[in-house]
Structure 1
């Protein structure tokens, strides 16, 4: 770790904690605030793991509200359970689609999937995500998370 990293890392950590403090007691937050939390987490993890993490987004509706730390949790799962590509990078992409019946978020992790020792239906991260979705939307949602050709795909559908 170089001198720039030693001075930048504490700032990135402080920024991430500031956002977490701001959202901790809220039921719903603006999607842009959630995205900023994810970006801060990526900058922290880039220092920790020395991996070139990249963030992309597509079709995000700035007026949408979501439960706090929803995508932050999914991002953390991607960082924890995936390995970088051959070029030392990993990319995360959040996309939003809306129809008359539902709103859908796709969160893609572009990386190599870790080899599974035993099958799992999900861990604490999934429990948190499902609990927050139920708290905000009752039973009017679907959550899927599975391997994809490029790494991992998590989809959240919220029905109107």
Structure 2
């Protein structure tokens, strides 16, 4: 992995090579290498122990003028040091020509420009790094808030589901023993699945579909023969994951608000299927007494399922709920690859 530390080494190695290339016409190879090393090391100290500290101190403050003044002053000092280093290196090598005052002045201004450019570049890099860190922190905080909200929704769904289970126990008591035992066995499977899987953030889609089949059959037996019920499931074996108990809410809602017309056929039709390997579709339709009554009796389930979809599949789902006269229809599509 190309880390920030490696990038720093690469930059200063590049700085050394570029400086050596620039000095090759005026100095011998030995003089060029020594002076390039002096320039590179001095500028690195200038950036690391002066400019970076100034940047961190004044980056978020309104005193940007102070940073500019301090950075200019530090650049002048660094340019003076580099000029003297150049004179010492040239003077120490007999083969180099004598340094004249005009050469020192020209060298000073050249080193000053380099110091200022390096200082400005370092400030920009520190500003960029802080923006990246700030964005990362903001995203982590956002994710933490989302996770807390999702956990909160799961805890709210828990008593809601349990309430529906306990409410249905009245039906079991009225049944004969054999059928009651069969229904209790189904309840135990559902509750066992619910207790263990509700703690997970993601579960296998196959497990969720299996749970839906048990739950649908249970509600079908409880509803009696006056209700026309169909469940189509066209999902091959797969490795897709989904948030737990998302789909069962629509089934709960359908059985809870299905109509009780004496002169009409009451029905619940459910169809679940996959398209393009990862697009899950759920379509459920049921008769309802009226659009206005259905709105009045609407429970908390659909409100929570919309929040969970927004948090877990932002921008990757569509939910269409239509309430018509004597009819209620919900169509859900989710991209499960996200």
Shorter-chain TM-score tier: 0.7 to 0.9
Partner Cα separation in structure 1 for residue 293 and residue 208 of structure 2: 32
How many residue pairs align between the two structures? Answer: 157
Higher relative contact order by CA 8 Å / sep ≥ 6: 1 or 2?
1
Establish whether residue 98 from structure 1 lines up as the match of residue 276 from structure 2. yes
Residue of 170, 181, 184 corresponding to 1:10: 184
Query: TM-score when scaled to structure 2?
Result: 0.40
The structure whose Rg is larger is: 2
1:154 corresponds in structure 2 to: 331
Establish whether residue 19 from structure 1 lines up as the match of residue 193 from structure 2. yes
For residue 14 of structure 1, report the CA deviation from its aligned partner. 0.5
Structure with greater helix share of residues: 2
2:303 corresponds in structure 1 to: 127
1:73 corresponds in structure 2 to: 249
For residue 157 of structure 1, report the CA deviation from its aligned partner. 3.4
- SS at 1:78 equivalent: helix
- SS at 2:310 equivalent: helix
Instruction: Kindly provide the CA deviation profile for residues 69-127 of structure 1, in whole angstroms up to 9, marking residues without a partner as x.
Output: 1111111111112237966763321122238xx82413223x42331335749642222
2:29 corresponds in structure 1 to: none
For residue 144 of structure 1, report the CA deviation from its aligned partner. 1.7
Q: CA RMSD in A?
A: 3.2
Query: Any stretches of 5+ residues in structure 1 without a counterpart?
Result: none
Contact 1:67 1:133 in 2 (8 A): no
Query: TM-score when scaled to structure 1?
Result: 0.77
Misfit runs of 4+, over 6 Å: none
Q: 1:79-118 to 2 correspondence within 5 Å?
A: 79-83=255-259, 90-98=268-276, 103-109=279-285, 111-117=286-292
For residue 10 of structure 1, report the CA deviation from its aligned partner. 0.9
Structure with greater strand share of residues: 1
